[in-house]
Amino acid sequence: MALSAQQIPRWFNSAKLRSLINAVQLTKCFARPGRTLLHGFSAQPQISSDNCFLQWGFKTYKTSSLWNSSQSTSSSSQENNSTQSSLLPSMNEQSQKTQKIPSFDSELFLEELDELPPLSPMQPISEEEAIQIIADPPLPPASFTLRDYVDHSETLQKLVLLGVDLSKIEKHTEAANLLLRLDFEKDIKQMLLFLKDVGIEDNQLGAFLTKNHAIFSEDLENLKIRVAYLLSKNFSKADVAQMVRKAPFLLNFSVERLDNRLGFFQKELELSVKKTRDLVVRLPRLLTGSLEPVKENMKVYRLELGFKHNEIQHMITRIPKMLTANKRKLTETFDFVHNVMSIPHHIIVKFPQFFNRKYRI
C-alpha cells in the first residue's frame, strides 16, 4: 500500500516511540543475556519458531557438589571454574543465536504499511506534492488520426512494427475504430498466425493488412473454411498463397461466392476445369472484382473486333488481363494494330501481347 507524503513522517514517529517503549520494558523485566541469577542458572535469550518473540529460559547445569555440605573449599573452587568453563559455550551459542535474530523494525514497518488506511482522493495535499505529481496525458475524446492513440495502444504500436500504414487505415472511420477496440493478444495474434500458415511472409504482413484491414472483422473459422474450399478444388497450397497475395480480399468472400465465380468463368468461357483454375491463379482479381467489365469485354471481342469464340479463349488464357482491360483502350489498340499496321486477326490471336503495349496513335 502506498503512503502519502503526510503519512510517512507520522508513521516513523510512532514506530520509533513503539521501539523505545519495548526496549525499556525488556530492560526492566529481564537481565542481560549471560548474567548469573542463581547458583547453577544462566539467563540466555531463545527464539521461538512460532512467533519469533524473545523468550527467556534458564539452563540448569550439573553442580551436584554445591549441594554437598562436606565438600572442601578447594573442590568448590574447582567446580566453580568448571561451571564457568561450561558457561562459555552457552555464551557463544547465545551470541550466534543473537546474530540470527531478524530485524523487528523492518517487519513492523511492513505490518504498519498494511494497517494504514487507503489514501482518500479528497485528501488535501500541499503545493510541493502537487508539483511532483506526473500524470499521463489524457486520451483525446475524438480525433481524425490514429497518431494520437499510438502511445496509448499496444495494438497500434505492434501493427506499426509489422509495417502497417495507419495513415491509410484511418481514412476509413469504421476500420480505425475497430483497431482501437481490438486486443493484440486475443484478436490479432491468431489472425497473424493464420496468415503466415496460408503463405504470407513476415515482410508482406504489413502491406497485406494495410490493404485488407477488414479481415479483422472476419471470423477466423470462416477464413479457414474458405481456404479448405480452395484446397478441395485442387488448388495447391502455393496457388492459394499466390492468390491471397495478389488479391488480399479473396478470403473475405464466402464459399458460395467463390464457387459461383469459378462456375461463371468455366461456363461463360467454356473452359476446362484445369484452364479455369490456371486462369484465376494468374489473375485472382477475377474472383473478387466486378463481373460487369468481364461481360462487356467479351461482347467487344466478339461483336466489335470480330474475334471468334475459340480465338477469344486462346487470347484470354495467354493474357488474362484482357478480360478486365479498359474498353476504350482495347478498341484503340486493335484499330491501330489491325487497321493502321494491317496485322490480320490470326496474327493478333497468336501474339495477344499486342493488347498489352502502348502505341502512340
In-domain check, residue 285: no
- Taking alpha carbons only, the member of 265, 281, 278, 270 closest to residue 323 is 265
pLDDT tens column, 289-331: 999 999 999 999 999 999 999 999 999 999 999 999 999 989 9
pLDDT tens column, 208-236: 999 999 999 999 999 999 999 999 999 99
Question: Which DSSP category does 164 fall into?
Answer: -
At 175, the pLDDT band (50, 70, 90 cuts) reads confident
Percent of the chain with pLDDT over 70: 62
State the helix-helix crossing angle for 189-198 and 237-246, rounded to 10 degrees. Answer: 120
pLDDT at residue 263 is higher than 60: yes
In-domain check, residue 209: yes
In-domain check, residue 57: no
In-domain check, residue 177: yes
pTM beyond 0.95, yes or no: no
Residue 105 to residues 110, 130, 279, Cα–Cα distance (Å): 9, 31, 82
Q: Which residue has the higher pLDDT, 218 or 3?
A: 218
- Taking alpha carbons only, the member of 200, 196, 258 closest to residue 225 is 258
At 79, the pLDDT band (50, 70, 90 cuts) reads very low
Query: Which whole number is the average pLDDT over 36-58?
Result: 39
**Burial label, 114 (beta-carbon count in 10 A; 0-12, 13-18, 19+):** exposed
Give the chain's domain count.
1
pLDDT at residue 353 is higher than 60: yes
Q: Which domain holds residue 203?
A: 146-216
In-domain check, residue 179: yes
CA distance 20 to 206: 67
Tally Cβ neighbours within 10 Å of residue 293.
14
What residues contact residue 262 under an 8 Å CB cut-off, 6+ apart?
233, 276, 280, 287
Q: Are 285 and 246 in contact (CB under 8 A)?
A: yes
pLDDT at residue 261 is higher than 60: yes
CA atoms within 13 A of residue 310's CA, in its CB half-sphere:
1
In-domain check, residue 343: no
State the helix-helix crossing angle for 220-232 and 255-268, rounded to 10 degrees. Answer: 30
pLDDT at residue 83 is higher than 90: no
Query: Which whole number is the average pLDDT over 65-92?
Result: 43
DSSP three-state, residue 7: helix
Query: Which whole number is the average pLDDT over 127-138?
Result: 68
**Burial label, 213 (beta-carbon count in 10 A; 0-12, 13-18, 19+):** buried
Q: Are 34 and 42 in contact (CB under 8 A)?
A: yes
State residue 150's pLDDT score.
79
State residue 357's pLDDT score.
74
State residue 118's pLDDT score.
59
CA distance 344 to 182: 59
122-142 per-residue burial string, b: 16 or more CB within 10 A, e: under 16: eeeeeeeeeeeeeeeeeeeee
pLDDT tens column, 8-43: 445 545 555 555 555 545 454 444 444 433 333 333
